Structure 1
């Protein structure tokens, strides 16, 4: 007699489990139930549908061979049954059955299972604010929301919008509103900077600048207190701690909660962060019930802490693990390292592992390097600047995290993926310095930015490189602490000299040995260039001559121009 596997949820993990299981054990009877009529879609593509990169919403439901993933597709091509519009309302673990309800008729029925898979996903957080239920207030969690938002945009009903939440989805939606539709868009984030869970404040500051350069207003350290409007006219404004923002639409993108009510009511163990607790084989506390995707808690392989990480990529990989185990295998899903990437207008942003703040919270003693370098050979026509931040523990030199951004997003992602793949193995800094990567001028420098970041961070920890990071310089320099020693050409240094006078010295790199007497010995000196490379050379030379108060500015102008364009004024794009 064939085994009956029932799967609750048919967006990402559910169809993956069923498709893989049918290939491994074709005699298995499989039934998927989902309360929605629209199933098996690429939810991460919603901002790109709203923004016009994806022309039709149906494209998010199609395979790469342009077949729409619906009930008929799964029955005729994948050979299992999907029942849409059917909401599972309870699990009877003793009898191994579920009760489900037709969302239209309300009629209930039961279904027995041998093994059950929970793929219930998440629910978007909608803060309990006055006006949060007004027409024109949206979350972005399914295709219905996506279509409703795009309809209002297409009908010209939105001239200005507020996105509440500066995470990845929030920034993608802000780009969609501003780029294609020309909507006046404001992002409101209550934390100190955008992408607070993914990036440190310096790299996030560069993302902030990219948003503002593309006419998206960004308000950090700002709390939303009310949505202003009425039921007839809809949204009129968002009230914040910094004043009202007039708008006709509000997108709440402040996070999600695992949808675990079904599991909780059935008595399954729930983790400390509200997700379903599973073991490495993705089994719940009931050996006949598996769970995966957005509704479970994942173990971070560096910090050791649990977290919720809703990503379609994880759901698909976990779906395969579950299917293999139901089919009799012994696969394991060890955990996550927090890989993340996003496109923000003209740049790609990626990270893996821990941020500095997260590393400190996990009990490490972190240090970091901020490196600026071309992503291809500098003489190759498509070369562009990439900025990379590498984080490691001071005492053990274990690499803890990496952040990167640049115009060539594929190059950014490739570097972060390379480092990220090593993080679970407690990779050391010297291994990053000597990491063997592919080399060819169209794709990289002979000394890749990954290797350079490892070298620079080793130099910092060893005390050779004595850095001052851009945000620290922006804080201390206005307080009349020290002078900038600009080692670039005179024309490049002139804007700083015009603005700061004697506090901005210019001694070109090749002239430093002959003009060393001009360098002050009794106050801090911050060596400054285009990217930080020449700054380090001069810092080491001056240290060797007895100047102990000299520090090199990490990233120098390439980072400063975006963190604070007024610090060293320059024409757009000039380095």
Structure 2
């Protein structure tokens, strides 16, 4: 072990993990962390919950599980790691093995020598290039200081209306934080045609959008912000967009982040076209004495086989352990990610792993998806609730490429997504997912778990015996088109179907699936049939019966009435049983 002196630039997530792991394995190492901010080693993912009030004190984001605040003194006394806050790293001299730093309090500069150097510089927010972006009411919530500034404005009663630019994860979380507890009139403007555009496919994203709107958040898609200016009226600002003007007292810019790699680049280290520091599996840079991890690097995506920028605090912690082990003379590797993600938005949990359908198609996969709506535990258990789970697979190889879902019971959803995520690095097939073993008990799962059911459904689709249409296609071809050649065949019970028959008339035919064989003569043979049930299970049975009878123009509406209602496509004033 030659790393007697280790300098770590950055002290939020990766840096502390590296330093503490190294000191545990090699206590005699001299380790110093430098960070330009005052606040260190905090849970950045908890910032929306601090703003919402779920986390009452910002110190809770900087505390250990045993309620010790992670201050510089804590690291020195408990971990043996020296910390220098309000200290900016200016440059790296790789030949001399020194880091030039500046004390932001005193203005003094000095050189810190190192045997090994760790870059934990993280990411920085993408910046809007529009007039008014520098106004004090326009804030990018990227660190503790900015979070405190937002919460102070709210607590002082200075914010009645807020505008969030960007409907990604942080934007959606901030929408909840502002509107749920504080009652702030909140608008989200997104340039894409859906919320969560990178991680979700359109169908589930539409369900999330409807839920947010039901909670009072205004969502404006396909819209860009052009300028922000002072408002002399009741609100502090006027925000000009491509669709008009919006008044706001606070604007939160949430348009993503990029790797903060200027130090590495200026030192001559290899960076990617995206600007991330390039590392090997041991997380070494192009200089073997310099390591990097966290939000400033790219990693290998184990589904696409390509580099991906995937900033996550949990990822930084795992990478920190790898770097700490290698600094201590061990051999540890970080092989890549499958892109797992979860978020809470009001009463909904949203989670995904792998790649969504639109990404799979862009990457050249011949991909298909299967949407299943099913109870997250035994249908007879009192606390069961519906889960909407989608599986993406390649048609040619039947390889599982990803999964995503939404549910009210977040633990149930993330448990399923995590199980699939654990399989993805090993390139599982649909058959593997269909036979995946779960710990079954009625309070926790169905006898045939929703993961197994989703894989079975995907197999049926790929085998051509289940011909699905998504709710969006049903909307376009049936709800909006008003075409005479399209009929919805509702195979639910008469009580559930009656309001729809009354509303759509002859275009909505109700024949319960258990009577379909005897009533086949009632089914028109000259129409395109959209077969529908509550969730898609009985309608699949009906589809097979229709095909046997020679009616091959029928298609199965994925997710059934449950998915259509969750998407806001069927808004009739009627409550029905959504179990099968």
Q: What TM-score do the two structures reach when normalised by structure 1?
A: 0.98
Q: Judging changes above 3 Å, is the alpha-carbon distance between structure 1 residues 230 and 118 closer, same or farther for their aligned structure 2 residues? A: farther
Moved more, 454-463 or 356-365: 356-365
Moved more, 82-91 or 227-236: 227-236
Note if contact 1:274-1:297 (Cα within 8 Å) is conserved in structure 2: no
Separation in 2, partners of 1:323, 1:89: 24
Q: Partner of 2:137 in structure 1?
A: 136
Q: Partner of 2:495 in structure 1?
A: 491
Superposition pairs of residues 177-326 of structure 1, within 5 angstroms: 177-229=178-230, 235-326=236-327
Secondary structure class of the residue paired with 1:422: helix
Deviations, residues 252-311 of structure 1 (Å, cap 9, x unaligned): 000001111111110000012111000110000000000000000111111122221110
Q: Partner of 1:112 in structure 2?
A: 113
Superposition pairs of residues 81-480 of structure 1, within 5 angstroms: 81-229=82-230, 235-477=236-478, 478-479=480-481, 480=483
Secondary structure class of the residue paired with 1:225: strand
Deviations, residues 141-173 of structure 1 (Å, cap 9, x unaligned): 111110110111111111111111011111000
Q: Partner of 2:522 in structure 1?
A: 518
Secondary structure class of the residue paired with 2:360: helix
Moved more, 109-118 or 302-311: 302-311
Separation in 2, partners of 1:335, 1:56: 35
Note if contact 1:349-1:406 (Cα within 8 Å) is conserved in structure 2: yes
- Give the deviation of 1:499 after TM superposition: 1.9
Note if contact 2:496-2:577 (Cα within 8 Å) is conserved in structure 1: no
Q: Judging changes above 3 Å, is the alpha-carbon distance between structure 1 residues 177 and 571 closer, same or farther for their aligned structure 2 residues? A: farther
Q: Partner of 1:533 in structure 2?
A: 537
Secondary structure class of the residue paired with 1:82: strand
Note if contact 2:235-2:248 (Cα within 8 Å) is conserved in structure 1: no
Separation in 2, partners of 1:237, 1:474: 36
Q: Judging changes above 3 Å, is the alpha-carbon distance between structure 1 residues 317 and 372 closer, same or farther for their aligned structure 2 residues? A: same
- Give the deviation of 1:135 after TM superposition: 2.0
Q: Partner of 1:569 in structure 2?
A: 572
Separation in 2, partners of 1:413, 1:186: 28
Secondary structure class of the residue paired with 1:514: coil
- Give the deviation of 1:111 after TM superposition: 0.8
Note if contact 1:372-1:388 (Cα within 8 Å) is conserved in structure 2: yes
Separation in 2, partners of 1:306, 1:399: 19
Separation in 1, partners of 2:44, 2:527: 55
Separation in 1, partners of 2:573, 2:551: 30
Moved more, 344-353 or 226-235: 226-235
Secondary structure class of the residue paired with 1:11: coil
Deviations, residues 206-256 of structure 1 (Å, cap 9, x unaligned): 110110110011111111111121699984122111211111111000000
Note if contact 1:134-1:234 (Cα within 8 Å) is conserved in structure 2: no
Note if contact 2:15-2:33 (Cα within 8 Å) is conserved in structure 1: yes
Separation in 1, partners of 2:552, 2:503: 27
Q: Please say if 1:46 is aligned against 2:30.
A: no
Q: Please say if 1:500 is aligned against 2:504.
A: yes
The CA RMSD measured in Å over matched residues stands at 1.4
Note if contact 1:87-1:100 (Cα within 8 Å) is conserved in structure 2: yes
Gaps (5+ residues) in structure 2? none
Q: What TM-score do the two structures reach when normalised by structure 2?
A: 0.97
Separation in 1, partners of 2:177, 2:448: 37
Separation in 1, partners of 2:31, 2:235: 44
Deviations, residues 334-383 of structure 1 (Å, cap 9, x unaligned): 11111000001101110000111111111110011000000011111110
Separation in 1, partners of 2:201, 2:234: 40
Secondary structure class of the residue paired with 2:32: strand
Gaps (5+ residues) in structure 1? none
Note if contact 1:135-1:231 (Cα within 8 Å) is conserved in structure 2: no
Separation in 1, partners of 2:577, 2:223: 33
Note if contact 1:372-1:558 (Cα within 8 Å) is conserved in structure 2: yes
- Give the deviation of 1:437 after TM superposition: 1.1
Secondary structure class of the residue paired with 1:552: strand
Note if contact 1:273-1:306 (Cα within 8 Å) is conserved in structure 2: no
Q: Judging changes above 3 Å, is the alpha-carbon distance between structure 1 residues 414 and 374 closer, same or farther for their aligned structure 2 residues? A: same
Q: Report the count of equivalent residues.
A: 574
- Give the deviation of 1:487 after TM superposition: 1.1
Separation in 1, partners of 2:575, 2:128: 40
Separation in 1, partners of 2:226, 2:428: 45
Q: Judging changes above 3 Å, is the alpha-carbon distance between structure 1 residues 224 and 560 closer, same or farther for their aligned structure 2 residues? A: same
